[in-house]
Structures are given as structure tokens and as C-alpha cells.
């Protein structure tokens, strides 16, 4: 980690025309290299500090090659602290986790006393199950769910509300659009893709969402997570969240897989003991029956990328 910290310290103190290249997760294809200015990263750091109403040391438990890890290091350095890789035992400190990490911590026999001392745990990189947040709250952990990407210099929406200076809108197909000082400058070596993603100062995300009257954003999942099966739009993340609440299911993901009869069939990838009939009835008891999966693939573990996101390509092949 020391080498990465040294590089980022030098970059933060350097000229603004030197861009930082950060790879996307590649959860749906080849990773892209996102170019970020120092201004964008520092704007994100400052907005986070204002929202959390505090600054201090950050504990790095995410890969420093992804934007979440980069931001942990930069926030700590800007606050005047070296980041650490263990929970600090004193002072005001913070950390960032993905949902899988938090779930494993809560399920383990680890003493959570040290983690309870954290001022805030930022939780991002994927959908946050309400049951997981409830468990964390019961353990005395202060969790804030974040939404963002490398293209927005990390999380730019905290618990549904955009950070200061960030604006969110909903475009065609329910697609989430974001603008503000934390936006990236483009994709390295790909001007065509840049022109598709950055339009009139707005970043067109790959996610669908809706805005409440008070401006609070609800992320419904990726636009391509809206599985069109038999002419019905099925939000795969909502189906997966329902399956995770089944008492015999430890983990679950849901994808649409091409099918000659349904167009796309809803496939559930499940870690646990549940058959297709039971899974369908469980989903249909809370959601419209057409949302119920038409295939269940039982796994020992959900394949995931280094940043904790599900490996969608591998899952598709397994189906």
C-alpha cells in the first residue's frame, strides 16, 4: 500500500493537468480506464467531509486500484493522516466497505467493538439490502449507503441524497444522469465511448432509478438488469433481494439469460438449499408472479470480482 499512497500523495500535490487513470470493475465486460482530474477528486473529498461533518484517518480494506480504495487514501491524506489497513484504536476514523465485506463481518465471530468506534462506514459498490443495514444498526455501526462510480470520482449520492454540488436527474428508460464537479474527463483512448457517456455536461450512467419529491434517489439496478421476460420488465436486483431473505438462502444474484421462448429468462444463482418451485413461490409471495425465476442454479459461492461485485460474465456462462 505504501507505494500507492506515495503515488497518490505526489499526484494530489502535483499539477491539475495530470489525470489519474482508474479502471472500472469490468463486471459487465472489459474494464475501462477512467481519467480523473485532481479537481474532481478533491471536490469529492471536500463534499464527503461536509456531508459527514468530520474528517480524520481512513482504514483501507478495499483494493487501492479501484476508485473506492483511491478515495479512502485521498480522504485520509487530505485530512493529514496516513491511511491504515487495520481499525484504528483512537481518534476520529472512517472506512469504506462493500456489502459482502460487511455481511461477512457480521456473520463472523470477530469482535465488532473496534468497528463500532468508526465515525462512519461508507457502504457502496452494489445494492445494500435493508436487512443488512438493520443488522449493522443493531450492532451499533453507523452505516451510510453510497452510490457512484469511477466516472463520478466515487460515491456522490449518500443515503439517496446527492452531495453538495452534485445534481441527479432521470432520463429516458429511467436512466440516472449525474452532473457536478466530481465528473471524470473521459475514457482513456476511447473518444467515442466518452462522447456517449458525457453529454452536455451530464454523465449518463448505466443504472435505472427514480427520484422522490424531496430529491432522494432510489437506484433500481442497472438498465440492463431490467430483464424483459415474456414482455414483462423484471427488476433483477429486487428479485435477488427477495431471495436473500429466504431462511435457507445465504446469498443470491439474479440475471436475465437469452431464451428462445421468453426472450430472456430470469435465472437465480443461489447459495443455499432451495429448489425452483420454492424459489418461485417465495418471490411471488411478495412480487408479481412474472418476476419469479424460471431457473435456479445452486452454487457454493457467488463468483465475485476483486471489488466484491458479482462476476456477471461467469454467472451467465454458468446458466
Top pLDDT among 261 and 243 is at 243
Q: Indicate the burial class of 4 (C-beta count within 10 angstroms; 0-12, 13-18, 19 or more).
A: middle
269 contacts 254 by C-beta, under 8 angstroms = yes
Reference 302, options 275, 267, 264; nearest CA is 267
pLDDT for the residue numbered 224: 73
Confirm if 35 and 184 have CB atoms less than 8 A apart.
yes
Is 225 domain-assigned?
Answer: no
**Dist CA 22 CA 2 (whole Å):** 18
Asked, for residue 262, whether it belongs to a domain, the answer is yes
Cβ neighbours for 194, distance < 8 A, ≥ 6 positions apart: 186, 187
- The pLDDT value given to residue 100: 85
Whole-angstrom Cα distance, residue 118 to residue 6?
Answer: 25
| Same domain as 276, residue 211 | no
Write down the pLDDT at residue 259. 87
Cβ-contact 62, 306 below 8 angstroms: no
Instruction: Kindly tell me the sign of the dihedral angle through the C-alpha atoms of 60, 63, 65, 71.
Output: negative
**Proportion of the chain above pLDDT 70, given as a percent:** 98
Contact criterion met (CB below 8 Å) for 107 and 139: no
Same domain? 262 vs 131: no
C-alpha to C-alpha distance for 125 and 309, rounded to whole angstroms: 7
Same domain, 111 and 199: yes
- As a whole number of angstroms, the distance between CA 184 and CA 198 comes to 9
**Which residues in the chain belong to E strands, given as ranges?**
20-23, 33-36, 57-59, 93-97, 120-123, 143-149, 154-158, 161-162, 167-170, 175-179, 186-187, 198-199, 202-211, 217-222, 226-229, 232-235, 249-259, 263-272, 295-298
Q: 287 and 157 in one domain?
A: no
Residue with cell 485530512: 79
Q: pLDDT grade, residue 28 (50/70/90)?
A: low
> Are both 150 and 74 inside the same structural domain?
yes
Packing angle, helices 130-138 and 99-107, rounded to 10: 50
DSSP of 96-116, one letter per residue?
EE-HHHHHHHHHS----HHHH
CATH (domain of 24) = 3.40.50.12780
**How far are the Cα atoms of 50, 91, 180 from residue 163, in angstroms, in the given order?**
9, 25, 9
Instruction: Name the DSSP letter for residue 154.
Output: E
**Average pLDDT of span 34-58:** 97
The model scores a pTM over 0.95: no
The domain boundary residue, chosen from 159, 192, 220: 220
Range of the domain at 238: 230-318
Q: Which of 166, 187, 220 is the last residue of a domain?
A: 220
Return the residue matching grid coordinates 459527514.
Answer: 52
Same domain as 283, residue 239: yes
- Name every residue whose Cβ is closer than 8 Å to that of residue 140 and which is 6 or more positions away in sequence: 112, 116
Structural domain ending residue among the three candidates 220, 243, 263: 220
Cell output for 261: 421462448
Q: Residue 225: its pLDDT value, please?
A: 78
- In a shared domain, residues 239 and 137: no
Do 104 and 194 share a structural domain? Answer: yes
**Which pLDDT value is given to residue 281?**
97
Q: What is the pLDDT of residues 200-252, one digit of tens each?
A: 999 999 998 889 999 999 988 788 778 889 988 888 988 998 999 999 999 99
Q: How far apart are CA 8 and CA 41, in angstroms?
A: 11
My answer on whether 256 and 108 are in the same domain is no
Number of domains in the chain: 2
For residue 269, is pLDDT > 60? yes
Amino acid at each position: 500500500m505504501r507505494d500507492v499512497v506515495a503515488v497518490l500523495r505526489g499526484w494530489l500535490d502535483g499539477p491539475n493537468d495530470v489525470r489519474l487513470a482508474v479502471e472500472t470493475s469490468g463486471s459487465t465486460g472489459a474494464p475501462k480506464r477512467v481519467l480523473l482530474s485532481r479537481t474532481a477528486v478533491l471536490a469529492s473529498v471536500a463534499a464527503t467531509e461536509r456531508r459527514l461533518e468530520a474528517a480524520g484517518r481512513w482504514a483501507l480494506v478495499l483494493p487501492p486500484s479501484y476508485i473506492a480504495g483511491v478515495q479512502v487514501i485521498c480522504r485520509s491524506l487530505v485530512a493529514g493522516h496516513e491511511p491504515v489497513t487495520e481499525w484504528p484504536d483512537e481518534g476520529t476514523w472512517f472506512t469504506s466497505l462493500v456489502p459482502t465485506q460487511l455481511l461477512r463481518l457480521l456473520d463472523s465471530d470477530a469482535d465488532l467493538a473496534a468497528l463500532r468506534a468508526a465515525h462512519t462506514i461508507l457502504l457502496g459498490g452494489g445494492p445494500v439490502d435493508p436487512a443488512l443495514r438493520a443488522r449493522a444498526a443493531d450492532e451499533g455501526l453507523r452505516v451510510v449507503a453510497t452510490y457512484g462510480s469511477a466516472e463520478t470520482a466515487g460515491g456522490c449520492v449518500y443515503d439517496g441524497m446527492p452531495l453538495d454540488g452534485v445534481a441527479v436527474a432521470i432520463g429516458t428508460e429511467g436512466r440516472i444522469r449525474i452532473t457536478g464537479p466530481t465528473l471524470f474527463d473521459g475514457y482513456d483512448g476511447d473518444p467515442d465511448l466518452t462522447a456517449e457517456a458525457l453529454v452536455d455536461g451530464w454523465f449518463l450512467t448505466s443504472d435505472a432509478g427514480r427520484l422522490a419529491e424531496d430529491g432522494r434517489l432510489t437506484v433500481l439496478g442497472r438498465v440492463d438488469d431490467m430483464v424483459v421476460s415474456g414482455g414483462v420488465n423484471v427488476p433483477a436486483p429486487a428479485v435477488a433481494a427477495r431471495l436473500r431473505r429466504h431462511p435457507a438462502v445465504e446469498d443470491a444474484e439474479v440475471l436475465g439469460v437469452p431464451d428462445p421462448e421468453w426472450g430472456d429468462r430470469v435465472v437465480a444463482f443461489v447459495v443455499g438449499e432451495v429448489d425452483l418451485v420454492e424459489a418461485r413461490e417465495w418471490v411471488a409471495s411478495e412480487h408479481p408472479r412474472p418476476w419469479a425465476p424460471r431457473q435456479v442454479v445452486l452454487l457454493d459461492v457467488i463468483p465475485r470480482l476483486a471489488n466484491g461485485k458479482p462476476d456477471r460474465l461467469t454467472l451467465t456462462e454458468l446458466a
